[in-house]
Structure 1
Amino acid sequence: MRKHPRGYSIDYYAYLSPLRMWNASFKVLLSVSILLICIIADNIYVSAAIILGMGYLTVRKGNVHFQDYLALLRVPLAFIILGSLPIGVSISKHATGDYFMNFHYFYFYVTSESILTAVRVIVKAFGAISGMYMLTLSTPVNDIIMVLCKSHVPKLITELMSMIYRYIFILMDVQYRIRNSAESRLGYRDFKTACFTFGNSMSSLLIISLKKAGMYYDAMEARCYEGEMHFLKEDKPVETRQILMGALFIIIIILIKLFTEMEEGIVV
C-alpha cells in the first residue's frame, strides 16, 4: 500500500487496516496502557521495545507501508526535536560543558548527561506516539467515539469530536484543490508571488469553509438531525489470542524495565 493520492489520511489507513476488525475497546485499552507504561517507566529500553513492537504491529499486521509509516512519524518529529533542544543544549557566559560553541558574547554548550537526557525524552516521546499511532491507523474515528460513549463521556464532547474531525478533512480537500489551482497558474514561481498567493488562498479557504459549514449542517438536518447525533455501534468480539498477545507484550516490557534496573543497580 502506497501513498494516498491526496496525501496521508488517517481514515484511509484505518479503514484498510486488517486490525480494524479487532475490538475497538481492546485496542483503546492496549494503546492507553502502553502509553502509560512508557511514560511511567521512563526507561530508554522500554521505550525502544514499545517503538519496535507497536511499529511491527502497525506495519506488519496493519498493512501500512514502512515508508508511509516513517512519513507519518515525521509530523511529530519536528516538535519532539524542538522540544528536546533546550534539554540538551544550554547557554552560558563562560566556556563550560563537554562541547561548546563560542558566539563571542555567550556559549552554547552540551554535556554527556544533557545529551543522554534529551535522547531519553525523544525515545520516550516516540514510544508514546507509536502506541497511539497503532490505535489511530487501525481504528476509524467512529469506533473510537463508540468506545468513548461506552465510557460515559458526555455526548457534547463526542459530537464535537466527530464534527471537528470530519470538517478537518473537508478543509484539507478544499486546500488541496486551491493549491493545485494556484500552482497550475504559477502562483508559487517566486517568493513574492508565493506570499501573495498564500494570502489569497487563505482568504478563499475561509470563505469556502463557511459555505461548507452551512452545507454540512443542512446535510445533517436533511438526515433528521434534532440536536443529537447517533453513531452506528458494531460489536466485535475480543479473541483470546489477542488478549494473550497484548498481555504477553506488556509483561515483556515490564520485565525489560526490571532487568535493566537490576543491571544498573549492579553496575553502581
Structure 2
Amino acid sequence: MILIDKLCYTSKLRYTNPMIKFLFAIITLILCVAVRSSVIACIVLITTAFLTIQKGGISPSHYIHFMKLPLIFLVLSTIAIVFNISPTPFSAFAIPFFHQYITLSRASLLSAVQLILTALASVSCLYFLSLSTPITDILYVLQRLHCPELLIELMLLIYRFIFVLLEISNSLYISQQSRLGNVDFKTSCKSAGALMSTLLVRAFKKSSFLYDAMESRCYDGTIHVLQETYPVNKLHILYFVLFELTLIGLSVYLGR
C-alpha cells in the first residue's frame, strides 16, 4: 500500500463522518484561496496540522515529510517570480549586475510569503482529508453530493490501477536490478525504456483481465461498493460551523 493510504486507514479520525470531513476540507480550502490572507492561511495551517497530527494520530515526521515537497516546489517557483532585473534598485534587496540590478521590492516579498502560505494551507486541507478518509468514503460522499456516476467510477478504477502499476513496476525494477540493469547511466536509460514499454503492455493486459472479471460478476455499468455507516456527531458539526464562521468573520474584518 502507499504510505498515505496506510496512514488514512490507521488514523483516529478514520470513523468520523466523512461528509463532515469532506465539507470541512473543501470549504476551508475555498475560503483560504478566495481570501488570500496570510492570517487566514496561518490559522488554517495550524488547525489542519493539529487535527491531522494530534486528533488523527499521524506522526509529525510523516506530516512534515508530506508537506516538504510542496514547500520546496513553492519556494523555488516563487524565487523566479519575486526577483527582477531592473535598471533601478528596489526597496528590499539589490545586487549590481553589469548595468542592471538583480532586485526585489518589499511588496513583492510580502506577496510571495502570502502566496506560499496560502498554497501550503490549501495543501494542508487536502492532506487532512486524504490522511483521515479512505478513497471509498470520499467516493461515497461524492455520490451523496450527486456527482456524475461516470466520474466516480473512473476515480475508483484509477485509484485501483495506481496499486496495480506500482506492483508491476516494482517487480520489473527488482528484476532489472538483479540482472545489473542499472550498473551505469547508459544501461539505466535502456532499462528505464524497457520498463516503461513493458509496464504499458502489462497495464493493457491487466485492464482487460479486470473488465473480464467485472463482466463475470454481472457488471451492469455501475460499480457497487459496500459502504459503512458513520454516526453524525453533533459536536463535530458545531465545531465545523463555528470554525467556518470565524474564518468568514476574520476575512470580512481583514478585507476592510
Answer yes or no: is 1:33 the counterpart of 2:21: no
Letter in 2 for 1:96: P
Give 1:130-141 correspondences, 5 Å limit. Answer: 130-141=124-135
Q: Give the equivalent residue in structure 2 for 1:3.
A: none
Query: How many positions carry a matched residue from both structures?
Result: 255
**Cα RMSD (Å):** 2.4
Q: What is the CA-CA distance between 1:51 and the residue it aligns to? A: 0.8
Q: Give the equivalent residue in structure 2 for 1:96.
A: 89
Q: Secondary structure at the match of 1:35?
A: helix
Query: Gapped runs of 5+ residues in structure 1?
Result: 1-5
**TM-aligned CA distance change 1:226 to 1:55, over 3 Å:** same
Counterpart among 116, 124, 145 of residue 110 in structure 2: 116
TM-score scaled to structure 1, two decimals?
0.85
Query: Gapped runs of 5+ residues in structure 2?
Result: none
Seq. identity, %: 35
Q: Give the equivalent residue in structure 1 for 2:43.
A: 49
Q: What is the CA-CA distance between 1:78 and the residue it aligns to? A: 4.1
Q: Secondary structure at the match of 1:133?
A: helix
Given that 1:19 and 1:138 are in contact with CA atoms closer than 8 Å, whether structure 2 keeps it comes out as: yes
Give 1:1-268 correspondences, 5 Å limit. Answer: 8-92=2-86, 94=87, 96-97=89-90, 98-101=92-95, 104=98, 108-254=102-248, 256-257=250-251, 261=254
Instruction: Provide the rounded CA distance (Å) in 2 between the counterparts of 1:51 and 1:246.
Output: 15
TM-score scaled to structure 2, two decimals?
0.88
Given that 1:87 and 1:117 are in contact with CA atoms closer than 8 Å, whether structure 2 keeps it comes out as: no
Q: What is the CA-CA distance between 1:228 and the residue it aligns to? A: 1.5
Q: Deviations over 1:30-62 (max 9, x none)?
A: 111111121122111110111111011111221
Q: What is the CA-CA distance between 1:103 and the residue it aligns to? A: 5.5
Q: Secondary structure at the match of 1:19?
A: coil
